[in-house]
Structure 1
Amino acid sequence: MNLLLAEDDERLGKLIYHLLEKEFNLVDWVKDGKAALDYALFTEYDCIILDWMMPKLNGIETCKKLRDKGYKGGILFLTAKDAIEDVVTGLDCGADDYLIKPFKFEELSARLRAILRRKEKPFEEVLCWDDIELDLNTHEVRRNGEIIDLSKKEYELLEILLRNKHQVMTRDVLIERIWGFDVDVTPNALDALVKLLRKKIDQKGSPSLIQNIRGVGYKLRDEDV
């Protein structure tokens, strides 16, 4: 099991890290939410353990961003917040389990194994819509079997839309996921990117696969349209 621990308390973090490493071997430890998010975007973790109160991004914000960016592994909260509304908030934002401090390591270990059992199914490797395919392993995009050469941002835009079938992705969310939340990007940049992607994936005489929802954002056109 490959784990990521996000805990800003030096003493507790060091203790948990060593115990996890002893039992599960592969463990990374970061001390803030932004670092947890960055690590998760470049490493495939089976489960991420999040402290609630962390600098830069708290656990709730980190959990939401992880799910928004397509992370499908397990997420477990470690927190001293024990009110029922806090538990509900943690689970509703995308976590799989919630463990209240103080806790015994044996319980943490058992909960991690339980999450792994629930998550033990193959990850989706190819995203499909209509006759277009996006291979998450090779990063190849095909339509009717022919490879389409996309830029990095064109690929990211298409992947987001494919991962969120039937959903309208707002302009703000698309800009944040493609360019980052701390980068100043104009809405025109998104429109230009959509236009470039359409030119590459659409077929002449057919409606665009990408539908503009005026005043809101973009979505994939229904397959039967």
Structure 2
Amino acid sequence: FGKKPDEAHIEQLLKDLSLWDKRSSEILALSGGMKRRVLIGKALSHEPIILFLDEPTAGVDVELRKDMWLLVRKLQKAGVTIILTTHYIDEAEEIADRVGVINNGELLLIDDKKNIMHTLGKKQMTIELTEPVSEIPDSLSCWALELSEDKKQLTYTYDPRQNEKIDSGSKIDVLLQAVSDAGLSLSDINTSQSSLEEIFVSLVNKKP
């Protein structure tokens, strides 16, 4: 690659990829997973400032996936720009700063991951009841609540883009008061947000 070999860098790279013990082995004698590690090491040997990774963990063992993402995080901290394609949406959510969604060759969007999660994701609040109820009281019908199979949880799903007051807590306060006024006793409240994978599926399903 036009650079003088940096023996210290190569040694550390081989250790990061668990290849140090195989450094004298013939590549043809290595397993498929080890060969994938060698290809990754080759791409990183000249210390690139921009790195393209095309499905680097597809079809590999769990150990290699773990080593690979530890290395990616290390490169991120060192200032390396990484352009990654992957079908593992959980990996993109865990590591990426910006995300592009491609469906059938069409780029549906590209944006900061945090912005995608905030603007396209939905939120859920789960209300744990102290006692099961046979049905949702009529006074709560306007909230479109879902009752769990065990009859002890009420789930409220909302879209922050459509009602910003929900995020400030005022609407939530009104709902909780309405639940109390309906004679229901609460034991716990939990909130969750859509994962990047759920957002991806929603985007793809919207396409005709």
How high is the TM-score relative to the length of structure 2?
0.25
